[in-house]
């Protein structure tokens, strides 16, 4: 044993001694590597790398817009929402370079691991000029000074005017943190609407789609106890399902909005601008009551707790349930085609929000940010970010991609001889066959045309998009409010993880009838939930 | 310097009094052979290990890490959820390890008795297939099979033989009473066959003369299994168990995909707890904190291995497991 | 405990029956995937046979032009990686059975230490980047090659080789390397086959190293691409075509196939008594 202990000691001594000299060698790494990757991305104009200590207020003002220099070359870090290499990214970028006259180096990690990679790249110190960030990373990086403050640039830009003209400026205003803007959304975030199977309504003799909660619940009950799928057996179906009782991401309530209604399980900004935690408010208690009642009645899928999103879709396609709250736009078509493929009636009614819900929630969109180490941020904003939403050629490229690669107006027949055969005349706009997944067509590039913030001139969407796609997107656009961007505070980092876990546990247990509402709130108190919540609210209101 | 210390540690055990230099010279070829292993360990393990120092800092990957000494550990230990998760990890992980190993050994012993070589091959191949399913796919498969509805195969079966009543089906993955049992079962289903690979290979190298001798001595099938086959596996079983103890605290994916909000009391393990803590917080991870948790896990793993290694030396005539 | 022929065959029958039941338990869940991969309709529940049989799922997986390069990369990294990994494990294991070698315990503990402690995601990335290993296939081949767990298992096998063989080899004047090649390797076919298989599976199924250290999708392997297919449809803007579920399940089956073929092939090295002849002196 002694011998073993000694040699273990030796081994650890080795690590320590390595660590000791590592202090200096590591710094060498840091500087050495910045040189390393800049060869990869060739001579990029930015990050000549004093980037370890970013000055947060590097270059704020951009008063004089006239003599802003156009950058020669920039590096951008993007996720899978931009065309990937398999989907002719090179051709897309070549076309973009031609249009805006800037050489673009792209770093595009795997979509699933995007934020791991962003963390690594930022830690590596060699920051790209431009990056796409989700709301979480956006607010955290803005607070840490990674992002360039683009407030002035935006205020003085033509882009703002174009967005205002199209009623799009509210989305950008929602991205401001303490009145400052650090990132530019290229579209709205999109959200979910409630789809109801038309056939099921007919089979149950319900003439009008529900407009309030009582009607909604009555519909679910009819779907559960009756025979909406027409297979001759009563009660082998149920009303609605979701992947879990509460969402994993803001705005947590988007998959079961009819039950949550005006409740906020997490932090939200009140009308007077102060922050509050909606979890202890009466609206949330009422929501829990509705969930528990509905679950007890059996109108909510008994396996809601363990469903994944793919499980929900498959159940919907195999006619196990009839009401599904899912993404507006493209997914309306996806749901329809999959139902029809299963030999079922594909007609879905996109339900306007019932009276108690009022409006659907628009997700906070990802944003395009400029890093604070970018040498010429004004130039990048003016010549890269702005044109993306110019309403013209560049926006068209970002919306539909490259002609004859991603879309075409030539006469052609796709999928000849197959069931889904499609014939296009000369001049008829249509998506080309997907390079990565043959058999499907491209519908869009980075910007979803239905969610654009600036009106696109000569948008072919009216002719090319499917009816149900347009209808659901429009319904959503008319009935949505943007979710609040919750800023990141130290107290949030410290306590919100445990707090949210506790809340989710209580919601699930109450919904499934394992706990009464009073028991749940007693546990919330005793498990420090109220305490943590107060600490975070205080930090937000500071 | 290293070698000197080494001498004091190694020579009493060997009992030889030969000069160290001569002994090193005798083994020179082996040092050369170890060199590539050494280089790999340094590059891929020891250099990154310098990052352990972040455990004592706050580091979000942007600003220079600021030294906070034991703050990260204090935070970790002060959260009430931490100790539950720690306890869950130890119990779930160790029981899972013992169960899958036990079943793998039993299956191997009986597989070894199959005489028909083709049948044996088919069985071996089939039982190892589940290993190739990702955990995500496995979880969605089993949430269907174990569903408390008419679609759930297991519940339908239990209803048909009258064990449960159709209005009262068991929510295996959604009830705190059943979750762990279900979790172990799924793990046994998925990993037993894969673990038999190593045991079957061990049995292949076994000395068949022992069998012949035993037959002459009049040992039956059970006797041979008990006194010959099983002991020849003992060394491998012990190694597998102890090496896996080092990784006991790393339990993540299988628990993560099978757990849900209602069963966190019994299913939340350290890694998933930390994951939720970071993911649900709505802010970017503090790498200092995650490193501190990692270091804590390593120390626990290290202790478990040392304790079991000491115990195993009795079995292995004074030799450690490594 | 009788030994009569009759009783043995009863045992064999019972044993066989138990294994048939066991195989059924294993197969039932897998059957769902297999059926779905041939079924052009999407269903949630279990079915005995596909409702609308069709090979479209497999056709789409194999006709996908972007899958060939990843498949090739998977094969290359699996073959190269397994060879390098086996080399490291056998060398390391061979050194670890030299109980009298000065420094042997230090080496053993040094290896054990790497298994227990690690530096975390960001430091590892920074080290690899400073060595210019990121965004190359080298990182996915070399990184998983040193696996202490497998190395120790290998050493376990080597321990079973009778000491007398080493002694006689040394007397014959063999160098350590010669002994290794002439005695250790030929005696360890089952070990090489089983641990080689374990490495091959690790390399074939690997995606974590790809997603963390490779940001150029030209270098992705098969598993990365299939993962994209399996997970990708949850995006709000995904194009969920009607055969989505069929393709997914076909993809899951396609990944398993190589190992359904490989394992039975390797089992010829698992035959009893490989080293018997050599042990006899």
How many Cα atoms within 13 Å fall on the side-chain side of residue A301? Answer: 27
Return residues 73-92 of A near C (CB < 8 Å): 80-81, 84-86
Q: What is the pLDDT of residue B4?
A: 39
Q: What number of C-beta contacts closer than 8 Å exist between A and B?
A: 156
Question: What does DSSP say about strands A422-424 and A412-414: parallel, antiparallel, or unpaired?
Answer: antiparallel
Cα A507 from Cα B274, distance rounded (Å): 21
Q: Exposed (0-12), middle (13-18) or buried (19+): which is A161, by Cβ within 10 Å?
A: exposed
Q: What is the DSSP string of A187-230?
A: B----EEEEEEHHHHHHTT--S---SHHHHHHHHHHHHHS-TT-
Q: What is the per-residue pLDDT for A180?
A: 94
The three-state secondary structure class of A240 is strand
Is ipTM strictly over 0.90? no
Please count the other Cβ atoms lying within 10 Å of the Cβ belonging to residue B213: 12
Which residues have CB under 8 Å from A243's CB, separation 6+? A255, A304, A307, A308, A309, A311, A312
Does position A393 have pLDDT exceeding 90, yes or no? yes
* Closest B-chain CA to C46: B151
**CB spacing of C23 vs B319 below 8 angstroms:** no
Q: Nearest C-alpha of chain A: how many angstroms from C185?
A: 29
A241-251 core/surface letters (b: 16 or more CB in 10 A; e: else)? bbbbbbbeebb
Q: What are the tokens at A386?
A: 């702005």
**Model pLDDT, residue B34:** 95
Distance CA B300, CA B94 (A): 13
Q: pLDDT tens digit string along B11-68?
A: 444 445 568 888 888 888 899 999 999 999 999 999 999 999 999 998 888 888 889 9
CA nearest A172: which of A158, A192, A157, A187?
Answer: A187
Site of tokens 């138990």: C18
More confident residue, A521 or C182: A521
What confidence category does residue B1 fall into, taking pLDDT thresholds of 50, 70 and 90?
Answer: very low
Measured between CA atoms, the residue of chain B closest to residue C178 is B29
What does residue A277 show for φ and ψ, rounded to 5 degrees?
Answer: -100, 115
Cα A2 to its chain centre, rounded Å, is 57
Please spell the DSSP secondary structure of A264-323, one letter per residue. Answer: -SSEEE-TTS-EEEGGGSHHHHHHHHHHHHHHHHT-B-TTGGG--HHHHHHHHHTTSEEE
* SS3 of residue B94 by DSSP: helix
The structure tokens listed for A20 are 């000791």
What per-residue confidence (pLDDT) applies to C245?
Answer: 81
Nearest residue on chain B to C151, alpha-carbon basis: B322
Q: Which ranges of chain B does DSSP label H, i.e. alpha helix? A: 2-14, 20-26, 28-41, 47-49, 71-78, 80-111, 117-128, 135-145, 153-160, 179-204, 208-216, 221-224, 230-245, 253-258, 264-267, 270-279, 287-315
Amino acid C229: pLDDT: 73
Average pLDDT value for chain B: 86
> Are the Cβ atoms of A493 and B320 closer than 8 angstroms?
no
Other CB atoms within a 10 A radius of the CB of residue B237 amount to 18
CA distance A8 to chain C (A): 6
Neighbours of B, requiring at least 3 CB pairs below 8 Å, are A, C
Q: Is residue B281 less than 8 Å (CB to CB) from chain A?
A: yes
Q: Give residue C239's pLDDT.
A: 63
pLDDT score of A38 more than 60: no
d(CA A448, CA B161): 54
The whole-model pTM stands at 0.87
Q: What is the pLDDT of residues B115-142, one digit of tens each?
A: 888 899 999 999 999 999 889 889 989 9
Q: Using a CB–CB cutoff of 8 Å, tell me whether A235 touches chain B.
A: no
Produce one character per residue of C178-216: b if its CB has 16 or more CB atoms within 10 Å, e if not.
Answer: ebbeebbeebbbbbbbbbbbbbbbbbbbbbebbbbbbbe
pLDDT of residue C1: 40
* Predicted confidence (pLDDT) at residue B9 exceeds the cutoff of 80: no
- Phi and psi, residue A369, nearest 5°: -115, 155
Average pLDDT, integer, range A463-492: 87
**Tally of CB atoms within 10 A around A504:** 23
pLDDT at B112: 86
Predicted local confidence at residue C8, as pLDDT: 60
A9 falls in which pLDDT band (50, 70, 90)?
very low
Name A458's Cβ contacts closer than 8 Å, sequence gap at least 6: A396
What would the pLDDT profile of A424-452 be if each residue is shown by its tens digit? Answer: 989 889 989 888 877 788 888 999 888 89
> pLDDT tens across A495-508, in order?
999 999 999 999 99
Mutate to test the interface with A, among C46, C206, C217 (most CBs of A within 10 A): C217
Q: Given this model, what pLDDT does residue C233 score?
A: 62
Report the pLDDT averaged over residues B283-300: 90
Backbone angles phi, psi at B86, to 5 degrees: -65, -45
pLDDT at C280: 34
Is the predicted pLDDT of residue A512 greater than 70, yes or no? yes
The predicted pLDDT at position A257 comes to 93
B5 in contact with chain A, both atoms CB, cutoff 8 A: yes
Mean pLDDT on A165-186: 88
Q: Is B84 on the interface with A (CB under 8 A)?
A: no
- With a cut of 70, which residues of chain C have pLDDT below it? 1-8, 230-242, 271-281
Quick: pLDDT tens for C28-82: 999 999 999 998 888 888 888 888 888 888 887 787 777 888 889 999 999 999 9
Q: What is the per-residue pLDDT for A402?
A: 95
Task: Tell me which of A106, A192, A231, A310 to substitute to probe the interface with C (most C C-beta atoms closer than 10 Å).
Answer: A310
In B, minimum Cα distance to C262 occurs at B125
Mean pLDDT of chain A: 85
Tell me the C-alpha distance between A222 and A210, whole Å: 12
Whether B283 and A493 lie within 8 Å, measured CB to CB: yes
Cβ of B63 within 8 Å of Cβ of A53? The answer is: yes
The shortest C-alpha distance from B161 to chain C (Å) reads 18
How far apart are alpha carbons A478 and A472 in whole angstroms? 10
CB contact under 8 A, C12 and B113: yes
Q: What is the mean pLDDT of residues B205-227?
A: 75
pLDDT, mean of residues A133-140: 90
pLDDT in tens, B67-80: 998 999 998 999 88
Q: Which of B271, A172, B250 is nearest to C116 (CA)?
A: B250
């Amino acid at each position: 044993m002694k011998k073993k202990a000694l040699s273990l000691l030796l081994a650890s001594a080795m690590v320590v001694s390595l660590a000791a000299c590592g202090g200096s060698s590591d710094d060498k790494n840091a500087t050495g590597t910045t040189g390393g990757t800049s060869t990869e991305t060739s001579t990029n104009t930015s990050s000549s790398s004093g980037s370890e200590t970013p000055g947060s207020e590097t270059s704020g003002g951009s008063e004089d817009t006239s003599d802003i220099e156009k950058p020669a070359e920039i590096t951008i870090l993007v996720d899978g929402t931009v065309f990937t290499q398999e989907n002719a990214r090179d051709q897309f970028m070549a076309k973009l370079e031609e249009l805006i006259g800037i050489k673009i180096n792209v770093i595009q990690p795997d979509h699933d691991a995007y934020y791991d990679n962003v963390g690594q790249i930022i830690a590596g110190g060699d920051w790209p000029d431009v990056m796409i960030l989700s709301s979480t990373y956006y607010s955290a990086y803005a607070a840490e000074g990674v992002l360039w403050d683009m407030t002035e640039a935006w205020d003085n830009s033509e882009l703002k005017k174009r967005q205002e003209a199209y009623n799009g400026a509210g989305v950008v205003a929602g991205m401001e943190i303490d009145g400052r803007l650090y990132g530019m959304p290229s579209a709205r975030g999109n959200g979910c609407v409630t789809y109801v199977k038309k056939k099921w309504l007919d089979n149950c003799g319900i003439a009008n789609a529900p407009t309030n909660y009582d009607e909604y619940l009555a519909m679910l009950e009819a779907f559960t106890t009756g025979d909406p799928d027409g297979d001759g057996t009563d009660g082998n179906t149920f009303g609605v399902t979701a992947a879990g009782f509460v969402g994993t991401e803001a705005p947590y309530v988007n998959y079961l909005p009819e039950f949550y209604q005006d409740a906020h399980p997490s932090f939200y900004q009140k009308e007077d601008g102060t922050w509050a935690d909606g979890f202890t408010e009466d609206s949330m208690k009422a929501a829990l009551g509705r969930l528990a009642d509905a679950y007890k009645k059996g109108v909510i899928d008994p396996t809601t707790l363990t469903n994944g999103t793919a499980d929900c879709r498959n159940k919907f396609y195999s006619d196990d349930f009839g009401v599904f709250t899912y993404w507006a736009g493209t997914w309306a078509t996806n749901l329809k085609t999959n139902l029809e493929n299963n030999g079922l009636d594909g007609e879905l009614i996109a339900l306007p929000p019932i009276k108690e819900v009022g409006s659907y929630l628009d997700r906070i969109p990802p944003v395009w940010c400029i890093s604070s180490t970018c040498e010429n941020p004004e130039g990048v904003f003016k010549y890269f970010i702005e044109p993306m939403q110019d309403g013209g050629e560049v926006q068209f490229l970002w919306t539909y991609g490259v002609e004859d690669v991603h879309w075409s107006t030539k006469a052609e027949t796709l999928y000849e001889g197959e069931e889904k055969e499609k014939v296009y005349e000369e001049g008829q706009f249509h998506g080309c066959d997907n390079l990565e997944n043959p058999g499907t067509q491209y519908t869009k590039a980075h910007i979803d045309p239905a969610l654009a913030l600036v009106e696109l001139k000569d948008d072919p969407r009216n002719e090319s998009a499917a009816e149900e796609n347009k209808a659901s997107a429009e319904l959503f656009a008319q009935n949505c409010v943007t979710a609040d961007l919750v800023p990141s505070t130290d107290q949030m980092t410290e306590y919100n993880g445990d707090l949210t876990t506790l809340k989710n546990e209580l919601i699930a247990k109450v919904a499934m009838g394992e706990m009464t509402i009073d028991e749940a709130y007693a546990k919330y108190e005793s498990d420090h939930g109220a305490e943590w919540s107060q600490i975070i609210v205080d930090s937000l209101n500071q | 310097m290293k070698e000197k210390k080494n001498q004091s540690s190694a020579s009493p055990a060997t009992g030889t009094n030969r000069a160290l230099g001569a002994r090193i010279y005798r083994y020179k070829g082996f040092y050369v052979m170890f060199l590539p292993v050494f280089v790999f360990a340094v590059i891929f393990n020891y250099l990154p290990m310098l990052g352990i120092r972040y455990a004592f800092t706050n580091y979000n990957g942007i600003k220079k890490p600021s030294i906070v000494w034991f703050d990260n550990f204090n935070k970790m230990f002060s959260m009430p959820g931490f100790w539950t998760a720690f306890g869950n990890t130890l119990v779930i992980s160790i029981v899972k390890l013992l169960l899958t190993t036990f079943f793998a050994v039993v299956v191997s012993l009986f597989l070894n008795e199959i005489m028909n070589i083709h049948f044996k091959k088919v069985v071996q191949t089939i039982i190892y297939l589940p290993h190739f399913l990702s955990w995500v796919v496995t979880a969605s498969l089993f949430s269907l099979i174990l569903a408390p509805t008419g679609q759930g195969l297991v519940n339908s079966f239990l209803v048909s033989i009258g064990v449960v009543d159709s209005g009262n089906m068991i929510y295996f993955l959604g009830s705190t009473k059943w979750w762990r049992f279900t979790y172990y079962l799924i793990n046994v289903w998925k990993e037993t066959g894969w673990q038999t690979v190593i045991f079957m290979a061990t049995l292949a190298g076994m000395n068949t003369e022992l069998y012949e001798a035993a037959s002459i001595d009049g040992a039956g099938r059970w006797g041979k299994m008990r006194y010959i086959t099983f002991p020849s596996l003992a060394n491998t079983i012990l190694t597998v168990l102890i090496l896996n103890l080092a990784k006991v605290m790393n339990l993540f994916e299988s628990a993560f995909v099978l757990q849900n909000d209602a069963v966190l009391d019994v299913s939340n393990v350290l890694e998933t707890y930390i994951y939720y803590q970071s993911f649900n917080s709505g802010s970017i991870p503090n790498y200092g904190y995650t490193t501190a948790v990692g270091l804590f896990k390593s120390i626990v793993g290290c202790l478990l291995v040392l304790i079991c290694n000491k115990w195993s030396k009795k079995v292995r005539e004074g030799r450690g497991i490594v | 405990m009788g030994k009569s022929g009759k009783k043995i065959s009863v045992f064999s029958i019972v044993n066989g029956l138990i294994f048939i039941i066991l195989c059924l338990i294993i197969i039932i869940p897998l059957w769902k995937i297999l059926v779905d991969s041939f079924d052009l309709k999407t269903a949630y529940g279990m079915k005995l046979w596909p409702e609308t049989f069709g090979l479209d799922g497999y056709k789409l997986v194999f006709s996908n032009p972007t899958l060939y390069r990843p498949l090739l990369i998977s094969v290359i990294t699996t073959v190269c990686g397994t060879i390098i990994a086996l080399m490291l494990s056998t060398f390391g294991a061979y050194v670890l059975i030299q109980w009298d070698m000065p420094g042997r315990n230090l080496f053993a503990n040094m290896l054990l230490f790497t298994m227990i402690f690690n530096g975390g995601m960001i430091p590892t990335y920074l080290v690899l980047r400073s060595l210019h290993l990121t965004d190359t296939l080298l990182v996915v081949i070399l990184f998983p090659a040193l696996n202490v767990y497998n190395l120790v298992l290998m050493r376990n096998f080597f321990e079973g080789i009778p000491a007398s063989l080493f002694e006689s080899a040394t007397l014959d004047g063999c160098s350590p390397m010669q002994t290794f090649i002439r005695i250790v390797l030929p005696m360890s076919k089952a070990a090489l086959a089983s641990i080689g298989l374990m490495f091959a599976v690790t390399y074939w199924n690997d995606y974590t190293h790809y997603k963390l250290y490779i940001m150029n999708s030209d270098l992705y392997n098969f598993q990365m691409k299939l993962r994209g297919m399996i997970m990708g449809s949850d995006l709000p803007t995904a194009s969920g075509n009607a055969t989505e579920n069929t393709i997914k399940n076909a993809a899951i089956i396609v990944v398993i196939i190589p190992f359904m073929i490989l394992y039975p092939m390797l089992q010829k090295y698992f035959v009893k008594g490989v080293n018997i002849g050599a042990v006899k002196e």
